[in-house]
Structure 1
């Protein structure tokens, strides 16, 4: 059955589905329960006009979403919901027990698109997809289509069947992972549209989870193998104020590493010791950062010091010893996992795209607790380098792992040494769809009468502080240029505080800690003017703080001095000894065979090399290149868009 036919079927039952939806909530303009002292400015109030980010966001909205729906149709993702609901005959399609989540993530990304810009046709399409999802849900709220279709035959041979019962293989069945993505997507869709058709599906599923899991003798004792249901339940609590959802999220986290609750899954699933005792980032990297995000939610909402201490230890370990220069995490292909401390290979680096996305979600929460710019330094490094590298310039090819070196032979990308058009396990393409349209929500945060400017990108925003309504506009050519102009326009003259983040690279710091350092210390300083007059500032947690009475149309100009910088690694990272990497602003650079065909293997960087930065509008959709007499380097994120070839980030250094 084609997707068009399915859409017709869906629309024909849509009124019935919506009519049956329980009227549990009324959409309100009041702020949802956050628990965090700092909250993001909603993407509905931020209009990006940027020459760098707007084309990437539009590409996902206009090309990647449509492409992914087509691929999901080809591989039977929508069929599974119809088969599970008895509207179509057949056996389960696809090869993964979490294929349902591809549909949820597409809905979430498309819903974020609706938040930023209304689109009636897209909204109708989402209603159709949601009605198809509804068909696959069992009467009590359970929703994992492969198990409903035939519990004796999971789509993946590595999912064990004991008696064919629900939850019997929680370590690997992904039933709770499916619920997590369902809930996350439904909350975003509700916030985008005010409609409850998807939210009610999620509420029904979550209510079933609350009844099913717990400490009572008649409940299932266990935790998810792959985390994300925890953050989904927290978001549902924030929307509904139903404490049962928050309590279940905490139950799942509290019981990891508890052998009295279940047979432990081990360090791979962060289930070897209780979460509040964990101090080292181990195991499957995506599972880890999703769990750490959930732990941070509990630390904030429950004011839980033990959870707060744990996430601080875990973050320090990850950033100081296990993070790539591109912001990527997860060194090992085996288990898609973190390596040992300082184990950061380049050719065999894993750096799953989903892990980069999860790391942004986690660091955003940490910033919302602390207001410390360190977390946005990690976010910015990931965004501009090891995250968007996962998507090709045409929006239709993807990296699952993101290596820092390629010999043109080793097929690091699940059987290829360049981006692929899709994967049997397609979590990364649909996670990019889910995440990229939400990027405007990272730019600003607020707390009482304080506005945080976290990222620099051309935009206009309408913001409500406790005592002030204001508009703010940014104009910049960042990341290619370090000059940023901001216009501040309160509705009426008002006193409030603006905090402007100084990126770590402009403070002579690659990342917090000593994993990476710049070979030389720059003496150039960030300058600030207000209405044309120099402003003397003191840094506070990496921010410039300006408190004053603001009038309409006042102008702030920031100038972050950009220069080519050489990065060296802590000597404990064996593979990078005697090598340097190049950066310009927030961008990490790589040399690619396409630009250095005659001498690629012999390229070195020397003490007397002179670097030239050149803007090339017709190369890779317009980039700054770094050039010497011996090499030409391009932004790392843009590599492998011109065919298969060699690439490396770390380059031999010769005195």
Structure 2
């Protein structure tokens, strides 16, 4: 997956190929221009650089992912791993490592990456085809077919691998200015042009991402044919007839092609269906093509799909995907807590999709979803140690017949390790979501301590700095320092988060139980600003002078959240938030259980920052009524301390119960008979 798209926007002028004219109206500011000094995010990015990336390379070697390429060079051997898409793990780690090199150069890592690129180049066949399982001669895997691309429409992942390769190759080129990986990508893309296209082979890729990769390759090379091929793959959807299978309880997903978003043409799709990661990648790819071709049909479909996904199918953490059977979307409003799948990769794909929607429309609602996902459903996928991971991210773990439901133990790796390697490449991109520009307008989207220098007008630059302890505290100080001593006039758009405007969610899927009269305050150089909000932004349009400061204070109230009444699993329940953080109760802090807790409404929670807990977190303390059963015959309740921690920090202290949604009263009890 990827959203180093914004880096391409800024650095495209450095590329010696033809210029691209059409693109998103709003441009993300690349992470290379945003220097973090943040106490929340910078340590996480450092752990990714120093622990997660080396760990992932090590595990790739131990599990045979690298050996697969060595066997492809020798044209002999059997697949060392489980899946033919395991090639993509190497590509994603290289992508993250390449961007890490740009942040802090490491000669040893640079040399190692080059050695892997050399190996990949040797594994590539003379005509550009690159797929280790087939090249080593192992055609026994049921997913790959007897000839090239025979099963691409479902599970071969030949194009999926290449989509990730193109993303890694463009990232490596932009970060290092070396062409060794880019040239391999171009050779493969030129091979695809001989196989696919009008009058040639037509296929809807079984796992999307090639669409995004081709778009990135187009931006770097200026080769229109790559963009055309991306659109061709998107337009192939909805053309295939799927065979019916008897005895399949999930028949509607598999038998219609909805699992692959291949049931109807994309321009006719109106709801989020099927595998959630595939879906998010498709929607991001559609947005790219739409931005560069002004495809209004794509945009119409994307708006309808977005509304369905985030009005009816999104968890409070921003997580996507309820159904574990197909790792994807369930029916509208079916958001069960214990079976929530919420794959980490799906959270990443949601960030990519929502960032692109913002770049198209400039509306803060997309950043509201992005922020919620980033602080909750996404970073929950990586352990605090940087080398343990969650594939699934459910809303609760309960004891059932002496066993815990759900994925409750972080793993050092998976047989399908798409999530750990996706984390590798995503983390260095986080600073690229902080700012955006449109013409001379500057947008402040996320809040973290940093410094960036932007060219607002031709040859007119400004340095913008943030100083904040967000997400634990709501004070954000934004310093604006134009290079021109005479000052610089431009509009600064500062996002007022939905949660700070008493809007829990940009749709009616979630809302706050009790409305607050507290509003964010903004002052400029100590003078209170009476501001209006447009598309979720406070607009400060003035002639900026060196030393100007904007101080925004966001009210950090503990709030109770309720779900839309159509979400049956959450009727009579509340969730607890503070700022952008969703909180949960974990067994460690609550007498070993959380499934027995009833949380009274309208209580005041005390906040306490604990620097020695979970790498430093703000905890919440209130009260709960705990149910207990005595001698299997009587039920009693007692009031006890309720301790809540940020959801993202769960599962770092052993295995046990956890939950986000709490009942507020006892409605009934089930009496078991045997």
| TM-score where L is the length of structure 2 | 0.89
Structure 1 unaligned regions, length at least 5: 1-24
Matched, 1:371 2:359: no
Q: Is the 8 A contact 2:476 2:551 kept in 1?
A: yes
Alignment of 1:69-88 (within 5 A): 69-86=57-74
Alignment of 1:332-371 (within 5 A): 332-371=323-362
Note the C-alpha offset of 1:80: 1.1
Partner of residue 447, structure 2 = 456
- Please give the secondary structure, in 1, of the residue aligned with 2:119: helix
Q: Distance in 1 between matches of 2:173 and 2:314?
A: 35
Partner of residue 501, structure 2 = 507
Distance 1:28 1:551, change over 3 A: farther
For 1:124, which of 75, 94, 111 is the aligned residue? 111
Matched, 1:603 2:580: no
For 1:201, which of 184, 207, 220 is the aligned residue? 184
Matched, 1:474 2:457: no
Q: Distance in 1 between matches of 2:306 and 2:202?
A: 29
Note the C-alpha offset of 1:473: 0.7
Note the C-alpha offset of 1:148: 1.0
Q: Distance in 1 between matches of 2:450 and 2:537?
A: 20
Deviates more, 1:355-364 or 1:265-274: 265-274
Q: Distance in 2 between matches of 1:129 and 1:61?
A: 18
- Please give the secondary structure, in 2, of the residue aligned with 1:628: strand
Q: Distance in 2 between matches of 1:615 and 1:31?
A: 50
Note the C-alpha offset of 1:604: 1.9
Matched, 1:280 2:267: no
Note the C-alpha offset of 1:512: 1.1
Partner of residue 107, structure 1 = 94
Distance 1:424 1:598, change over 3 A: closer
Alignment of 1:416-427 (within 5 A): 416-427=407-418
For 1:65, which of 39, 42, 53 is the aligned residue? 53
Note the C-alpha offset of 1:215: 2.2
Q: Distance in 1 between matches of 2:14 and 2:576?
A: 52
Partner of residue 21, structure 1 = none
Q: Is the 8 A contact 2:77 2:137 kept in 1?
A: no
For 1:433, which of 424, 429, 438 is the aligned residue? 424
Pairwise CA RMSD? 2.0
Count of residues in correspondence between the two structures: 622
Distance 1:262 1:231, change over 3 A: farther
Q: Is the 8 A contact 1:282 1:338 kept in 2?
A: yes
Alignment of 1:509-524 (within 5 A): 509-524=503-518
Distance 1:408 1:46, change over 3 A: farther
For 1:227, which of 203, 208, 217 is the aligned residue? 208
For 2:380, which of 376, 384, 389 is the aligned residue? 389
Note the C-alpha offset of 1:654: 3.0
Q: Is the 8 A contact 1:285 1:336 kept in 2?
A: yes
Note the C-alpha offset of 1:608: 5.0
Q: Is the 8 A contact 2:478 2:551 kept in 1?
A: yes
Q: Distance in 1 between matches of 2:209 and 2:613?
A: 39
Distance 1:567 1:113, change over 3 A: same
Q: Is the 8 A contact 1:186 1:199 kept in 2?
A: yes
For 1:50, which of 30, 34, 38 is the aligned residue? 38
Note the C-alpha offset of 1:116: 2.7
Q: Is the 8 A contact 2:510 2:561 kept in 1?
A: yes
Distance 1:55 1:435, change over 3 A: same
Q: Is the 8 A contact 1:221 1:262 kept in 2?
A: no
Q: Distance in 2 between matches of 1:314 and 1:165?
A: 33
- Please give the secondary structure, in 1, of the residue aligned with 2:380: helix
Q: Distance in 2 between matches of 1:184 and 1:29?
A: 18
- Please give the secondary structure, in 2, of the residue aligned with 1:545: strand
- Please give the secondary structure, in 2, of the residue aligned with 1:234: helix
- Please give the secondary structure, in 2, of the residue aligned with 1:198: helix
Q: Distance in 1 between matches of 2:223 and 2:350?
A: 27
Q: Distance in 2 between matches of 1:262 and 1:41?
A: 46
- Please give the secondary structure, in 1, of the residue aligned with 2:550: strand
Note the C-alpha offset of 1:168: 4.2
Partner of residue 631, structure 1 = 642
Q: Distance in 2 between matches of 1:170 and 1:317?
A: 25
Partner of residue 165, structure 2 = 182
Q: Distance in 2 between matches of 1:54 and 1:566?
A: 30
- Please give the secondary structure, in 2, of the residue aligned with 1:591: strand
Note the C-alpha offset of 1:34: 5.8
- Please give the secondary structure, in 1, of the residue aligned with 2:340: coil
Partner of residue 540, structure 1 = 534
- Please give the secondary structure, in 2, of the residue aligned with 1:400: coil
- Please give the secondary structure, in 2, of the residue aligned with 1:171: coil
For 1:567, which of 561, 565, 575 is the aligned residue? 561
Note the C-alpha offset of 1:28: 4.8
